[in-house]
Structure 1
Amino acid sequence: MLFVVVLVAVLWVLAIRRAPLTVWAGVIAIATFLAQSDLIDGVARAPEFGATQLLAWIPAIVLALLTLPAVRRAVLIKPAYGLLKGTLPKVSDTETQALEAGTVGFDAELFSGRPDWDKLRGLPPIVLTNEEQAFLDGPTEELCGMIDDWRIRFTEREIPQEIWDFVAQHGFLGMLISKEHGGLGFSAQAQSLILGKIASRSPDVSTIVMVPNSLGPGELIEKYGTTEQKHHYLPRLAKGEEIPCFALTGPTSGSDAAAMRDIGHVCRGLYKGQEVLGIRLNWDKRYITLGPKATLLGLAFRLFDEDNLLGKGTDVGITLALIPTSHSGVEIGRRHLPCGQAFPNGPTWGKDVFIPMTWVIGGQAQAGNGWRMLMECLAAGRAISLPSSATAGTKAMLRLTSAYARIRKQFGIPIARMDGIGEPLARLVESAYVNEAGRAVTAAMVSRGERPSVISALMKYQTTERMRRAVNDAMDIHGGRAICDGPHNYLLSPYQMVPVGITVEGANILTRTLITFAQGALRSHPHLYDEVKAIQNPDRVAGLNAFDKAFCGHISFTISNIAGALFHNLTFGAFAGTPDNVGMRERWYRQVSRQSRNFALLADMMVISLGGGLKTQQKLTGRMADALSELYLVSCVLKRFEDDGRPPSDKPLVELAARNGLFRCQEALIGVIDNFPMMPMRFILSVLVFPFGRPYRPASDRLAKSILPLALEPGEARDRLTRYIYVSDDADDAGGLLEVTLTKVIAAEPAEKKLERAIRAGTVRRYHGLDWYAEAVSKGVLTQAEADQLRDADQHVARAIAVDHFDPAELKPNYEVADRSESRLASRAAE
């Protein structure tokens, strides 16, 4: 029995350690010899070689033969190659370009089941150059102070020209353009923080800065443009002399860009009086941000070359071009009105528009490479733009709502002290901390030159969804104060903007169910994409050689995941990987490593079982995306705590975020197992992944309550939770009024307690029409100084909780504008 136990333990270790086949063969051979020679009983005698004894050597012999390449390929590789050729997912050219455009980051570590924590910890913390810090503290702060959100989104429904001028003058539109070409050349981390600070003040203004610094002509020209295009356009874009937009989405080709109906035909035509090689274009695009204001249109279209003038065949492929909006035939439509926001957005179209070939981004050589170019830029841009604005928005919701909940009273106490209010407040604290952790780590990856396509997708959908929940929680806590619009309503603008962030770059439904895991499984799995490429290789010999290596690695990987997952789940993660010198957080590192094994096992089983059908199982892939997201974000939380210097006040918050993240990851994995298409696999996976049932519970109410003082008490902890957003101290500003009032209310608390006791005792009466402060002074309850302090604090509270109201005449002009728009639409329809 001891021999059997030791043998199983050794084989288990070999499986977890992904031992080579030769080691397996040797160990099994030694075990067979020992068993037959009876050495385990302490008696040495020559082994017998009867039929039964010879059969026992078959496993060792088979494994030994499989170490020989010729044998392995004949009996294993070729049959597997033929079988998987029809089951593994087919990867189209556009999918291949999307997969190869980005890079893998820590997502690959989580897919591996054995995360290397040194890779995550090796990423730099938030570091800005002196120039970047000065820009964040100077022009960015000044820009935020200039913004009047009510004027932008209601009074004018337009971003004022002085904002455009300031943005252009200070180089906000050229942050990603290199200094060589007249831009600021800022790091991705700096861009993320600058965009976030502006977003915390105005989603509209943030949008006009975000678009030129995200997927747009600037980045495309910088990376792929010809020398002439770079010298001409980049300095003009950096100075704001050109306002760019990029037209990709059409009425029939949103997420499915391969179905694009916008086309161009290579031909010869007249340009500036001379016949040149060019393209005749027809397009119809919509939702183009900055389109109505743009002077330079970036356009994506499918290019055809029936006469093969370019030498690339008839269907050249998706191509990108730069077209001045003043060019003959370019039509810029009227404006869309996305969720009532004021940033310029609208359609564009053109019919038989001729452009010279030199307007193709990168020139003739880059014709047909547009999809790869877009995907490479999107992989980095999506990691910065929307996560930065969503994270800043979440922090702003926490800053504003915690102040409001602390100064607003019901039933004689601040509503922040009510358990019912404490629940959404705790969610706000958690979301702000987690979003910022993920944002900082992801921006650090991009600053280092990575283009994390999978991580950028999960960050986009996770941060915007958490922002949606944060805004809803803020609205609920504010109640009627939040739903009545006006110049002092600081919540309605983000509430209206939330769906825009969730919808842009593909709605979160798509990002979650198709991109994050379905593409992530191919991109981040250590062997799957190599197998697919080997199978699709037109050179069969080279394909078989590559498939041999990938398939053997995949078998070892699968066995390792099965053994490793069961081992770590039976031992509650006690032996899972952890970095050095992490103290009390060691258990959370171990649990993330444990859940990473479970995730890797389930991901592998889904790929093996479903093959090409993986894309159709979108509920399952969505849950896997959720699990991956939670593992990544908990990992970022652990890194943030270290980067922040391990402040003791944040320890409960780290524990809360880790507990909730691991619980949500667990629930997502359970959802996958319970709905796995193959019934027998459900039982097997349940035993391997959850042998003792659910190991994680969400954070307790007590723990959630313990983190609330971090947000409710002014000081270093509150500032750290809401860092890098715009915070005003101007009492004439809606947000600044909250900050000033919070300070005054807390300072007046001792006097307030005296007054409250007197009111409850009936000594002082507090009703409209009475001066209860003077009465409290006359009866010796308060000193005059205390009464003045309380009067001042209460006056500020009254202003802070007041609701805007209007004369109907102030609102009517907006209805008249709407009526005129309706008339124009009716006239156009009649035409």
Structure 2
Amino acid sequence: MTVLLLLLAALALAYLGAGALSWTVLFTIAALAFSFTDPGFAGLLVVWGLFIAVAVLLNSSSIRRRYITAPILAWVGKTLPGISDTEKEAIEAGTVSWDGDLFTGMPDWNKLLAMGKPTLTKEDKAFIDGPVEQLCEMLNDWEITHQRYDLSSATWEFIKENGFFGMIIPKKYGGLELSALAHSTAVMKVATRSITGAVTVMVPNSLGPGELLLHYGTEEQKDYYLPRLAKGEEIPCFALTSPRAGSDAGAITDKGVVCKGEWEGKEVIGLRLSWNKRYITLAPVATVLGLAFKVYDPDHLIGDEVERGVSCALIPTSTPGVQTGARHLPLNTVFMNGPTWGEDVFIPMDFLIGGEKYIGKGWAMLMNCLSVGRAISLPALSAGAGKLSCLTSGAYARIREQFNLPVGYFEGVQEALARIGGLTYLMDSARVMTAGLLDNHEKPAVPSAILKYHNTEKMRAVVGAAMDVHAGRGVIKGPRNYIARVYQAIPISITVEGANILTRSLMIFGQGAIRAHPYLLQEMEAAQNPNKEKALDEFDHIFFKHIRRNLQLTARSLVLGLTGSSLASAPEMARETRTYFRHMSRLAAAFGLVSDVTLATLGGELKRREMISGRLGDCLSYLYLGSSVLKRFHDDGCPKSDLPLMHWAMHYCQSEIQNALHEVLRNYPVKALGVLLRPLVFPLGRHYERPDDATCREIAEMLLQPSDARDRLVDGVYRNTRPDDPVGRIENAFLKKVGVANVEKRLKKAVKAGDIHDEDLHTMLEAAVNKKILTTDEAERYREAEEAVDDAIQVDHFNPGELPITQSD
């Protein structure tokens, strides 16, 4: 009994994160208790000898540093992964926000809910309800992708004149200076109308000259270029990707050699550039080219070093030798994308962004800017695709009938609709929360990678399910089709701004483990400190805080697993979400424990164990995504009608975390450690389950009926009810069909009773009016609804002469 009580006391101290004094008291009690069991002199000598050793090590930092910390520090220096200069710059890019709280394994949920709700300002709303809405009305996706292979000239002018290229540029330079949320919402809305239009407006406001100039440009560069970019007088592009350097941008072979040359009639020191870039959005129409390349100074004209590193320049495309204009054709979205190249192109030094002092700092500049762009553009585009899929799939499933029943009431279709609705709610929650972080002056590097990967992958799942629901209606291209181009664009989103495979397997956990971990980066920096004495002091302080945290995570993972998370705290205002907060705390502790053991076990080998890294990245990602769902539900005022969406998303996130942890342990590189970790992570087995059928049916019903919940879910989508519009045609039929549901019910009852016959719509309605089953007004509304449905479910067809290529024998 004494031993059991001591073990429980030790577990409690570990769970509470007790300090050295508390542990010393417990060891004192244990030694005293053992002494009263008459162990003999030898036993007393061993026990009290161990007690003294432990007490001294816990409470005497000088002895501990000499005999414990120093050997550990030497081992850590060999075990921790080495960091190249480019990796270091990537790790240091951006800031740590909620991802850091998750990495502690003990997130403070009150802190999450205390973050202000992201909201649009009056100016933001005016832009979205005005120019953005107008732009959407101008965009004809079939004309763009099938006939013009480009936006119309009127659309280009509208984009320029209304500041779409200057959404992030401050007002003092003539830009719109939109909030991150407004920027995201604008891109999302345009994306629901045209992927080509969305990409056109989002790229200059993401990773591009505007962003780089704002943060790093000289005052002269800002004063000249930013007003011109804001007004659309300049069209920018940024050339980073080379044929041999995609995700590994540090491997670019494009170079600039420092030399003397003639510029505007004078001999000046500049750079002679040679480059070959591809996949560059807006390159075919750009007037100013942002370029990343490596600088070399073989003649030591600007310093002693020959290799000066990655640098960025801003070059007018009219500069002699600059080659642009050729186009790639990115599937069927046809936004302006193409290669650019040049050979021995001379530019003066003041073309370097930030001037000469920023030579060699290009990689850090790009990483800092990319962390912002990744958090907005593609996550917004993905959320827009989800909202469009919710709006149209629910409407189509309600008006399209099979076996005399709307297909939306078939459980197989309902399962797909639930996936569409649940994943869209998840994507949009993450989009909004991350935009809020940006508006609070964060640069969330790890969350931006999470959103880039998971929102685009969720887009793949959602649009795939939408295509399943639409079936043939989604397959046939033409002016009526509103989903095919979105489906065709999925691989582009998956590929750009970092290929998804590498984003998942290398960036999310690889960068997050070092950047967001509460101690790891400090330990690495201490281990690399050339001042040995100072390094030892710093490392001793950090390392034993790390040990204390790991003891706490071990205890929390075990105790919360044994108690069904009931001991975890939850915010007081949380009622419907209390259980989810508690379970997320348990899963965060398990993730923290497994990730720390893995880092200590694999060290530098983790870089090459991408399957393990990817699964741990999934754990962190779904902790973040689940957090965003809980915050969104509370920010919206906990509406009861949104409960199915919240339940679905949280069950999905928790089961994904569980499955990722299971796969990590099942494939653990040190099998014995995997066996030891499993009872700490899953002491009672795996019990988190995917959303149940009842929740799926509730979400499907939400999409099949007009409601406040449906409106909230699709908020931000371009929406109309015009019968001549691709989306408006479906929404018009949907609203009219639902509006006559009671009329339809009476008609079907009358047909079943044999009172009227349904072989012909006109005859049936005439008979229904004559027999007073319907009023004249009801019959007319039903006729209009049926005609609208008949038009909405049609697909396009073309005469052979209308097709771009005709064949003859």
Scaled by the length of structure 1, what TM-score is found? 0.94
Matched, 1:129 2:121: yes
Does the C-alpha gap of structure 1 residues 815 and 503 become closer, same or farther in structure 2, counting only changes over 3 Å? farther
Alpha-carbon separation, structure 2, partners of 1:679 and 1:721:
45
Matched, 1:550 2:542: yes
> C-alpha deviations, 1:420-448, integer Å up to 9, x for none?
11000011110111111111111000111
- Give the partner amino acid of 2:8: A
Query: What is the SS of the residue equivalent to 1:86?
Result: helix
Matched, 1:7 2:1: no
- Residue in structure 1 matching 2:635, options 629, 635, 643: 643
Matches within 5 A, 1:748-767: 748-767=740-759
**Is this contact kept in 2: 1:25–1:61, CA < 8 A?**
no
> C-alpha deviations, 1:351-384, integer Å up to 9, x for none?
0111101010000011100000000011111111
Q: Look up the match of 1:18.
A: 17
- Give the partner amino acid of 1:234: L
Alpha-carbon separation, structure 2, partners of 1:717 and 1:815:
50
Q: CA deviation at 1:553?
A: 2.1
Q: Look up the match of 1:522.
A: 514
> C-alpha deviations, 1:52-105, integer Å up to 9, x for none?
212112333222322323311221122112212222111111011101111111
Q: Look up the match of 2:289.
A: 297
Q: Look up the match of 2:26.
A: 27
**Is this contact kept in 2: 1:159–1:342, CA < 8 A?**
no
**Is this contact kept in 2: 1:484–1:804, CA < 8 A?**
yes
> C-alpha deviations, 1:526-577, integer Å up to 9, x for none?
1111122222233333333322222222222222221221111111111113
Matches within 5 A, 1:308-707: 308-311=300-303, 313-707=305-699
Alpha-carbon separation, structure 1, partners of 2:234 and 2:108:
45
Q: CA deviation at 1:656?
A: 2.0
Matched, 1:83 2:83: no
> C-alpha deviations, 1:448-470, integer Å up to 9, x for none?
11111111101111111111111
Matched, 1:207 2:206: no
Query: What is the SS of the residue equivalent to 1:317?
Result: strand
- Give the partner amino acid of 1:490: Y
Q: Look up the match of 1:55.
A: 46
Alpha-carbon separation, structure 1, partners of 2:793 and 2:685:
48
Alpha-carbon separation, structure 2, partners of 1:304 and 1:478:
56
**Is this contact kept in 1: 2:272–2:345, CA < 8 A?**
yes
Alpha-carbon separation, structure 1, partners of 2:108 and 2:207:
31
Q: CA deviation at 1:340?
A: 1.6
**Is this contact kept in 1: 2:417–2:699, CA < 8 A?**
no
Q: Look up the match of 1:742.
A: 734
Q: Look up the match of 2:775.
A: 783
> C-alpha deviations, 1:15-47, integer Å up to 9, x for none?
223333343223312432354257xxxxxxxx9
Q: CA deviation at 1:634?
A: 1.4
Alpha-carbon separation, structure 1, partners of 2:81 and 2:760:
73
**Is this contact kept in 2: 1:24–1:63, CA < 8 A?**
no
Q: CA deviation at 1:297?
A: 0.4
Query: What is the SS of the residue equivalent to 2:577?
Result: helix
Does the C-alpha gap of structure 1 residues 797 and 807 become closer, same or farther in structure 2, counting only changes over 3 Å? same
- Give the partner amino acid of 1:685: L
> C-alpha deviations, 1:212-248, integer Å up to 9, x for none?
1100000100110001000000000011110000000
Matched, 1:221 2:220: no
Matched, 1:288 2:280: yes
Q: CA deviation at 1:519?
A: 1.3
Matched, 1:237 2:229: yes
Alpha-carbon separation, structure 2, partners of 1:322 and 1:60:
67
Alpha-carbon separation, structure 2, partners of 1:295 and 1:343:
16
Q: CA deviation at 1:780?
A: 4.9
- Give the partner amino acid of 1:353: V
Q: CA deviation at 1:778?
A: 4.5
Q: CA deviation at 1:524?
A: 1.3
- Residue in structure 1 matching 2:706, options 714, 727, 739: 714
- Residue in structure 2 matching 1:170, options 154, 162, 175: 162
Query: What is the SS of the residue equivalent to 2:269?
Result: strand
**Is this contact kept in 1: 2:167–2:205, CA < 8 A?**
yes
Query: What is the SS of the residue equivalent to 2:720?
Result: coil
Does the C-alpha gap of structure 1 residues 540 and 314 become closer, same or farther in structure 2, counting only changes over 3 Å? farther
Alpha-carbon separation, structure 2, partners of 1:637 and 1:815:
53
Percent identity between matched residues is: 44
Alpha-carbon separation, structure 2, partners of 1:489 and 1:342:
17
Aligned-pair Cα RMSD in Å: 1.8
- Which segments of 5 or more consecutive residues in structure 2 lack a partner in the other structure? none
**Is this contact kept in 2: 1:764–1:772, CA < 8 A?**
yes
- Give the partner amino acid of 1:613: E
Q: CA deviation at 1:775?
A: 4.1
- Give the partner amino acid of 1:463: N
Query: What is the SS of the residue equivalent to 2:198?
Result: helix
Q: CA deviation at 1:764?
A: 3.8
Query: What is the SS of the residue equivalent to 1:332?
Result: coil
Scaled by the length of structure 2, what TM-score is found? 0.97
Alpha-carbon separation, structure 2, partners of 1:29 and 1:497:
67
- Which segments of 5 or more consecutive residues in structure 1 lack a partner in the other structure? 39-46, 817-831
Alpha-carbon separation, structure 2, partners of 1:177 and 1:62:
63
Alpha-carbon separation, structure 2, partners of 1:393 and 1:12:
48
**Is this contact kept in 2: 1:110–1:628, CA < 8 A?**
yes
- Count of aligned residue pairs for this structure pair: 807
Does the C-alpha gap of structure 1 residues 20 and 780 become closer, same or farther in structure 2, counting only changes over 3 Å? closer
Alpha-carbon separation, structure 1, partners of 2:757 and 2:39:
105
Q: Look up the match of 1:827.
A: none
Q: CA deviation at 1:748?
A: 1.4
- Give the partner amino acid of 2:503: T
**Is this contact kept in 1: 2:257–2:273, CA < 8 A?**
yes
**Is this contact kept in 2: 1:26–1:60, CA < 8 A?**
no
> C-alpha deviations, 1:479-525, integer Å up to 9, x for none?
11111100010011101111111111112111111100111111111
Alpha-carbon separation, structure 2, partners of 1:760 and 1:48:
91
Q: List structure 1 runs of 4+ shifted beyond 6 angstroms.
A: none
**Is this contact kept in 1: 2:720–2:727, CA < 8 A?**
yes
Which has the larger displacement, 280-289 or 167-176?
167-176
Does the C-alpha gap of structure 1 residues 307 and 114 become closer, same or farther in structure 2, counting only changes over 3 Å? same
Query: What is the SS of the residue equivalent to 1:330?
Result: coil
Alpha-carbon separation, structure 1, partners of 2:806 and 2:32:
91
**Is this contact kept in 2: 1:711–1:721, CA < 8 A?**
no
**Is this contact kept in 2: 1:457–1:511, CA < 8 A?**
yes
Q: Look up the match of 1:729.
A: 721
**Is this contact kept in 1: 2:250–2:363, CA < 8 A?**
no
